[in-house]
Chains A and B, each alone.
Chain A
Amino acid sequence: MTVERLIQSSDEFWAAGFTGKLEELIPLLQYYQETHGYISPEGVEAIAGFLGISEARVYTVASFYAQFRFQKPGKNHVCVCLGTACHVQGGVDLANEIHEHLHIRNGETTPDGQFDFKEVACLGCCAQAAVVEVNGTIYAKMNRDKLRKVLKEHQHA
């Protein structure tokens, strides 16, 4: 990364209210992922430069938390809940359906960039299990058939 790029990204962080303190690392990673979609190698470099720490340090923390992705996300974000209640109501079935239907696994993106897929521990809608979240909307009481329909809707949208 050139010095100019580094300055540019640091300016962006300043503008967003960050002050360069070490404890801002996780919020910075969250901010970067929100604005850029994922944590790219350039992102790691920019954050490391801004905080004055090594890139390894940034990776260490980023890789610890489930929230951060290192692959470019797809157009549609599919999250399958694998919390306890969803497990009991067949959440694994839904994850398998995604795998069989879209041929991607947890954390991956389809080659055509249409969908990315993440398994999450719990979305907190346990009484509506099993649930799937697509682009921020939660779909309740899902099964394989309903999930296929939902995916189809989003594919064409």
Chain B
Amino acid sequence: MLEQLRLEAKQRWQERTTHNQAVIYIGTASCGRAAGALETLQAIRETLQDLGKEACIIEVGCIGPCYLEPLMDIALPGMPRVSYANVTPAMARQILTACLTTGDLSPGKAAGHFGDESFTQTSGIQPFFDLPMLKPQLRIILQKCGIIDPEDFDAALATGAYQGLERAFTLGPEGIILEMQQAGLRGRGGAGFPTYRKWQAARAAAGKPKYVVCNADEGDPGAFMNRALLEGDPHAVVEGMLIGGYAIGAREGIVYMRAEYPLAVKRMRKAIGQTYASGLLGSNICNSGFDFDIRIQEGAGAFVCGEETALIASLEGLRGMPRPRPPYPTDRGYKGKPTLINNTESFGTVPAVLREGGEWFRQFGTASNPGTKTFSLVGKTRYTGLIEIPLGMTLRQVVEEIGGGTRLPFKAIQTGGPLGGCLPADRLDTPITYETMRELGSIMGSGGLIVMDESTCNVDMARYFVGFACSESCGNCTPCRVGTRILKDTLEKIVSGEGEPEDLEVMQRAAETMNNSSLCGLGQAASNPVISSLKYFRQEYEEHIHQKFCRSAVCTELFEFTILPERCTGCGACVKVCPATAIHGERKQAHTLDTTRCVKCNACVRVCPVHAIVGAPVGTQAGTTRQDKVVI
């Protein structure tokens, strides 16, 4: 039955994409929209109308390199897709006009193409996946993100969706779990628990009905892997849930989605609707006798609901507070019934594992950490965005090759989001696996990677993460509720210049207590940012406390701006942006900064092309008082 469906879908999708008219692809996931993709899309439509040309416009999901957004691809008849980056409406008009009227692909403006080697030679455009950010990556989960139209069921089917499900039906539940065991997939939510063991436990558990829950409550600030997957290839997640449901003998699946991701919710809802319409959801799916329903429940904005027992409480209409385990949700979960909870990415990986086989999946990554994992690479790297790499790749490769390094000297990388640790430059050669990250006092987490350079203050970052944990702590257990508060208050004291020498000891003790005695993962890990930064960046804490100095010029009370005369070229850019007229100087001469007027808004630092404006300890500069600043 599926074969027939797929054949028709392939035909329709091919008609849509290889018609004898141009096809224009535009990335309109949330990140693309933020960068202005919808305005670009509008410009494309208008240009087509002005030119009187017909073309097929396809909206696609996020392909990864967010720094290139908005991305527009054009495929002329008989030619591969050519991608253009940072396309403003005006640029879109220009490129399209040239393309459609004269067939000129404007190679100078192109970011890359999706065709083969010969096209590189004839067109002079590099392959898209040879971009420095994309070359070291390996795309399994994100394979279709940004390539297909996520709202078109035909596109999904034509590119192999639900093949994994077909194979799953032939293998039977036991066979599926065996395949998962061979693949060695581990929980992508961050804990790294072998997925097959969870499935096994849920299958063996007594009690009916059983439930499958997809944890799409991606609450980590600084992480958007799940959003991109749900917006770019929602059918992968639906298929993964179907396979999981079939393997454990469940009848109902629930996707617990973050309400802050409206577009992801919309696309997922559409995908579920399409799956029902084609008979792949509902009763007696593909004549297998297997019934399965999926519904979406929107979360209501609580970070702790990413913890599985808290998530269940939230599904049941309660405050999202974790409870002690065991019993594990696989024994007693939603409504007291056996419940399989996996992360979105885990489910998104399942179809590929079933389609290609466990052995195939195991060839990527390392022996104990097989497969690929998506990460969101953000912060101060040159290239930012969504990446997918085989596990075991080093942090250095991620930062320097994929991220393209940092503009200012590299300082630290925070792995695992707000509950992870901050690792310094001399740990960059560590391979990324669940175990190595834990050994360093961090976690892999769901995959947030935040890169910091010398303009980021580690004490301030620790304060930020702890502040987040403090406001998101559910208040259920004392170590977390009180501990996060102690850490937050102490760090606030330190960044405002009132730190005392014993504060470090206080924090260390509170952090260790939380780590040992909190009820859930949030509380246990909430002190990671403090413990790790105390370990690797103790000197910075001591400078804040003893010398009252923030070398990164972030903690407002603890520095003054000064202009390094040997770097300043006197370009005057800072003078223009200063809201307090605190900067003076002749053109082409080194400028000076009046600290009594400076409001530390950072505007000048951002525009200075030579990084001449730096922080200095308060009161150490001479000659910048208002009296001697006579403006002529």
Contacts and interface: CB of A to CB of B under 8 A. Distances in A.
Contact of A29 (B66, B300, B380): B300
A60 interface: yes
B34 A65 contact: no
A46 interface: no
Interface stretch (B41-49, B164-172, B282-290, B317-325): B317-325
A67 B317 CA distance: 14
A123 B259 CA distance: 10
Given A66-B300, A124-B224, A127-B66, A138 B456 contact: no
B450 interface: yes
A19 B335 CA distance: 17
A122 interface: yes
B232 to A, nearest CB: 13
Interface string A75-99: 0000000111111101001000000
Interface in A47-62: 60-61
Contacts of B418: 84
Nearest to A79: B260
B302 A64 contact: yes
A82 B301 CA distance: 14
A84 B317 contact: no
A83 B221 contact: yes
B268 interface: no
A61 B227 CA distance: 26
B448 to A, nearest CB: 7
A23 B295 CA distance: 14
A30 interface: yes
Contacts of A128: 31, 34-35, 66, 69
Interface string A136-153: 101110011000000000
Given A84-B450, A127-B384, A128-B69, A66 B602 contact: no
Interface string A117-141: 0001111111111010000101110
A13 interface: no
Contacts of A129: 378
A78 B224 CA distance: 21
Classify chain A: how many residues form its interface, as a range. Answer: 35 or more
A121 B300 contact: no
Contacts of B66: 126-128
A74 B300 CA distance: 20
B36 interface: yes
Contacts of A24: 317
Contacts of B474: 64
B450 A90 contact: no
B42 to A, nearest CB: 13
A94 B337 CA distance: 46
B316 interface: yes
Given A125-B31, A126-B384, A128-B35, A66 B302 contact: yes
Q: Which of A22, A60, A136, A138 has the most CB of B within 10 A?
A: A138
A96 to B, nearest CB: 10
A26 interface: yes
Contacts of B30: 123-125, 138
B317 A127 contact: no
B297 interface: yes
Contacts of B300: 26, 29-30, 65-68
Classify chain B: how many residues form its interface, as a range. Answer: 35 or more
Interface string B34-64: 1110000000000000000000000000000
B348 to A, nearest CB: 16
Interface string B294-311: 000111111100000000
A27 B221 contact: no
A62 B463 CA distance: 28
B173 interface: no
Contacts of B468: 121
Given A23-B315, A122-B223, A124-B261, A88 B452 contact: yes
A84 B302 contact: no
Given A64-B320, A90-B602, A128-B69, A121 B224 contact: no
B571 to A, nearest CB: 20
B425 interface: no
B260 A123 contact: yes
A120 B386 CA distance: 21
A61 B305 CA distance: 13
A44 interface: no
Contacts of B456: 88
B351 interface: no
B464 interface: yes
Contact of A67 (B301, B450, B465): B301
Nearest to A23: B317
Contact of B220 (A61, A122, A125, A140): A122
Q: Which of B317, B380, B386, B418 has the most CB of A within 10 A?
A: B317
Given A66-B301, A139-B34, A85 B319 contact: no
A128 B468 CA distance: 21
Contacts of B602: 90, 93
B260 A136 contact: no
A1 to B, nearest CB: 21
Contacts of A140: 34-36
A79 to B, nearest CB: 9
Given A85-B222, A121-B221, A124-B260, A26 B317 contact: yes
Nearest to B228: A124
B58 to A, nearest CB: 22
Contacts of B335: 23
A133 B58 CA distance: 25
B35 to A, nearest CB: 5
Interface string B443-481: 000001010100010000100110010001010000000
A102 B36 CA distance: 26
Interface string B518-548: 0000000000000000000000000000000
Contact of A84 (B261, B315, B385, B448): B448
B391 to A, nearest CB: 22
B262 A61 contact: no
Contacts of B384: 126-127
Contact of A60 (B221, B319, B376, B601): B319
A84 B224 contact: no
7 contacts: A64-B319, A88-B380, A93-B602, A126-B66, A128-B35, A139-B34, A140-B34
Given A64-B474, A68-B300, A124-B31, 9 more contacts: A30-B259, A84-B221, A120-B260, A121-B219, A124-B224, A126-B66, A127-B66, A138-B30, A144-B603
Interface of B: 30-31, 33-36, 66-67, 69, 218-224, 227, 259-262, 297-303, 314-320, 335, 376, 378-380, 384-386, 414, 417-418, 448, 450, 452, 456, 461, 464-465, 468, 472, 474, 601-603, 606
List of 6 A-B pairs having minimum Cβ-Cβ separation, nearest first: A127-B66, A84-B222, A83-B221, A65-B300, A25-B317, A66-B301
